[in-house]
Structure 1
Amino acid sequence: MGDNRIYDIAGIGIGPFNLGLAALCSPIRSLQTIFLEAQPEFNWHAGMLLPGSTLQVSYLADLVTLADPCSSFTYLNFLRKQGRLLQFGIHENNVITRREYNRYCRWVCDQLSNLQFNWRVTDICYQEDQKCYLIMGIHPLAGTKRRIFARYVVIGVGTQPAVPDFAAPLQGDQILHSSQYLKHRNALLSSRKIVVVGSGQSAAEIFYDLLQTGQETGQHLSWMTRSPRFFSMEHTKLSFEMATPAYIDYFYRLSESRKPFTIKQQDTLYKGINYQLINAIYDRLYELMTEGVTVPATLMTNVTLMGIASSNGKDWRLRFHHEEQDQVFELGADHVVLATGYKAAPPPFLKSLRHLVRFDAQGKFDITRRYTIDENHTLFVQNAEMHTHGFTAPELGLGPYRNAVIINTILGTTYYPVDERTVFQQFGVPPQS
Structure 2
Amino acid sequence: MVSAQQTYDVLGLGFGPSNLAIAGALLEKSTAAGDISLDKVLFIERYDEFKWHPGMLLPDARMQISFLKDLATLRSPQSPITFIAYLKSQNRLIDFINKGTTIPTRKEYADYLAWAADYVQSRGVNVAFGEDVVAINEDSSGTIEVHSTKLSTGEHIIRRCRNIVISPGGYARFPQAISGARSHPFVIHSSAYLHRVGSLLDGVRQQKGDGNPLRIAVVGGGQSAAEVLLDLHSRLSSKPGQERHQLDMIIRTGSLKPSDDSPFTNEIFNPDRTDMVFGFADMGTRRIVRSEYHNTNYSVVNPRTIDTLYDVIYDQKLDEDVARRKGRPNASPHPQLTIRTYSNILSADTLSSAEHSEGGLAVIIQNVLSGDIHETTYDAIVCATGYERRSWAKLLTSSNVGKRFGIDSTLHDSIRLKSEAEQHDGQPSITTNNVAEKLALKMLEGGLTRSGDQDTDSSSPTSTSASSDLPSPAFCSLPPDESRYEKTLYISRGYRLLLPRDAEAIADGASPFKGRIYLQGCEEETHGLSDTLLSVVGVRAGEVVDDLYAA
How would you bin the TM-score normalised by the shorter chain?
Answer: 0.7 to 0.9
Greater fraction of residues in helix:
2
Q: 1:364 to 1:161 in 2, by over 3 A?
A: farther
Structure 2 counterpart of 1:98: 106
Max Rg structure:
2
Structure 2 counterpart of 1:318: 363
Structure 1 counterpart of 2:383: 338
Q: Distance in 1 between matches of 2:180 and 2:27?
A: 43
Which residue of the other structure, out of 65, 69, 84, is the alignment partner of 1:76? 84
| Equivalent pair of 1:308/1:316 in contact (CA under 8 Å) | yes
Tell me, which stretches of 5 or more residues in structure 1 are unaligned? 414-433
Which residue of the other structure, out of 177, 181, 201, is the alignment partner of 1:188? 201
Structure 1 counterpart of 2:444: none
| Equivalent pair of 2:316/2:336 in contact (CA under 8 Å) | no
Letter in 2 for 1:206: V
User: Helix, strand or coil: the match of 1:214?
Assistant: helix
Structure 2 counterpart of 1:6: 7
| Equivalent pair of 1:188/1:194 in contact (CA under 8 Å) | no
Structure 1 counterpart of 2:191: 179
User: Helix, strand or coil: the match of 2:269?
Assistant: coil
User: Helix, strand or coil: the match of 1:39?
Assistant: coil
Structure 2 counterpart of 1:428: none
Q: Distance in 2 between matches of 1:305 and 1:177?
A: 16
2:138 is the alignment partner of 1:126: yes
Structure 2 counterpart of 1:162: 173
Structure 2 counterpart of 1:241: 267
| Equivalent pair of 1:123/1:352 in contact (CA under 8 Å) | no
Structure 2 counterpart of 1:149: 160
How far off its partner does 1:346 sit? 3.7
User: Helix, strand or coil: the match of 1:146?
Assistant: strand
| Equivalent pair of 2:225/2:384 in contact (CA under 8 Å) | yes
Letter in 1 for 2:137: C
| Equivalent pair of 2:180/2:348 in contact (CA under 8 Å) | no
Q: Distance in 2 between matches of 1:193 and 1:37?
A: 37
Structure 2 counterpart of 1:302: 342
Higher alpha-carbon deviation: 322-331 or 297-306: 322-331
Aligned sequence identity (%): 24
Structure 1 counterpart of 2:462: none
Deviation digits for residues 171-203 of structure 1, max 9, x if unmatched?
Answer: 332111111211222233866111101011110
2:283 is the alignment partner of 1:256: yes
Q: Distance in 1 between matches of 2:307 and 2:89?
A: 35
Q: 1:104 to 1:168 in 2, by over 3 A?
A: farther
Structure 2 counterpart of 1:354: 402
Letter in 2 for 1:199: G
| Equivalent pair of 1:243/1:392 in contact (CA under 8 Å) | yes
User: Helix, strand or coil: the match of 2:103?
Assistant: coil
Higher alpha-carbon deviation: 43-52 or 256-265: 256-265
Q: Distance in 1 between matches of 2:526 and 2:277?
A: 8
Letter in 1 for 2:313: L
Deviation digits for residues 8-60 of structure 1, max 9, x if unmatched?
Answer: 21110111111111122112223232111122112112211111111111111
Q: Distance in 2 between matches of 1:213 and 1:289?
A: 20
Q: 1:334 to 1:213 in 2, by over 3 A?
A: same
Structure 1 vs Structure 2 CA RMSD:
2.3
Higher alpha-carbon deviation: 21-30 or 397-406: 21-30
TM-score w.r.t. the length of structure 1 is: 0.88
| Equivalent pair of 2:177/2:345 in contact (CA under 8 Å) | no
Q: Distance in 2 between matches of 1:151 and 1:141?
A: 28
How far off its partner does 1:301 sit? 2.3
Structure 1 counterpart of 2:253: 227
Q: 1:126 to 1:107 in 2, by over 3 A?
A: same
User: Helix, strand or coil: the match of 2:404?
Assistant: coil
Letter in 1 for 2:310: Y
Q: Distance in 1 between matches of 2:488 and 2:364?
A: 32
User: Helix, strand or coil: the match of 1:242?
Assistant: helix
TM-score w.r.t. the length of structure 2 is: 0.70
